[in-house]
């Protein structure tokens, strides 16, 4: 029998639109934008199963629940995407390429920015689980069969202890009950560009502060130099 570990106290550690099953199961199931029989899927052997409609906060919650349970070694993607968000594709991109400058490398979603997961948490996720993609499938029989197949390949608990990360709720990121309204391509593009502009403005602010500090230091240095020069000149004239 595969070795098992205790998950983090109170696991699952984040709230969301999901059901939890046997914490010793090696399989987590993400149904993307589809509302399937999550409890039934857990009864078929999944440790946790739920939808994920956003490519930022939603992904962070899924990952937080996975890395806080070392027994989970597979993430099964199924169901259909939410238009404009593409949480499933973004999750696959994050697992494959990670994050650069806060943005998921290779993501096609509208706002694929990760704010609550540091590099260590992302690396842990990539190392702990194998991603299995049967997206677009909503067939409960096929999903149950894949869970059974993966359970038979259980390599045992991940070597590391449960990793706990805090996922802070962003205002307006998800509506009550985890529901997200699909956005048009144009609106999604606007949101993404606004996020990029916000980051650029922040960077400009830091650069301005640095430049102001350098300028202030130069002025202060010149004044000190003049004072010392006048003092030396005074000593020379008096001597």
Yes or no: domain 18-169 corresponds to CATH 1.10.3470: no
Q: pLDDT tens, position by position, for the chain (239 residues)?
A: 689 999 999 999 998 889 999 999 999 999 999 999 999 999 999 999 999 989 999 999 999 999 999 999 999 999 999 888 899 999 999 999 999 999 999 999 889 999 999 999 999 999 999 999 999 999 999 999 999 999 999 999 999 999 999 998 754 444 333 444 444 445 555 555 665 665 565 566 556 556 665 566 666 777 777 787 777 776 667 76
Model-level pTM?
0.73
Pick left, alpha or beta for residue 202 (phi over 0 → left; psi -120 to 50 → alpha; otherwise beta). Answer: alpha
Predicted local confidence at residue 75, as pLDDT = 99
The set of residues, in sequence order, having a beta carbon less than 8 Å from that of 32 and lying 6+ positions away, is 51, 52, 53, 77, 78, 79, 80, 81, 82, 87, 88, 135
pLDDT confidence of residue 96: 98
Task: Answer for the pair 97, 106: CB distance below 8 angstroms, yes or no.
Answer: yes
């Amino acid at each position: 029998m595969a070795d098992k570990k205790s998950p983090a106290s109170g696991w699952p550690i984040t709230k969301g639109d999901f059901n939890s099953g046997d914490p010793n199961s090696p399989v987590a199931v993400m149904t993307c934008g589809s509302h399937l029989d999550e409890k039934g899927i857990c009864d078929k052997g999944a440790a946790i199963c739920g939808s994920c409609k956003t490519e930022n906060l939603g992904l962070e919650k899924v990952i937080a629940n996975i890395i806080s349970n070392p027994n989970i070694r597979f993430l099964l993607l199924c169901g259909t995407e939410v238009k404009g968000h593409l949480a499933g594709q973004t999750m696959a991109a994050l697992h494959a390429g990670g994050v650069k400058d806060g943005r998921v490398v290779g993501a096609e979603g509208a706002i694929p920015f990760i704010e609550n997961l540091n590099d260590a948490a992302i690396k842990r996720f990539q190392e702990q689980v194998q991603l299995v993609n049967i997206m677009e499938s909503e067939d409960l029989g096929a999903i149950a069969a894949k869970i059974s197949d993966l359970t038979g390949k259980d390599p045992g608990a991940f070597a590391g202890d449960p990793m706990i990360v805090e996922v802070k709720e962003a205002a307006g990121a998800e509506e009550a009950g985890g529901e997200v309204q699909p956005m048009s391509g144009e609106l999604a593009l606007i949101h993404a560009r606004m996020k990029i502009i916000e980051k650029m403005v922040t960077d400009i602010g830091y650069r301005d502060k640095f430049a102001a500090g350098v300028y202030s230091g130069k002025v202060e240095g010149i004044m000190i130099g003049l004072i010392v020069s006048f003092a030396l000149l005074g000593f020379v004239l008096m001597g």
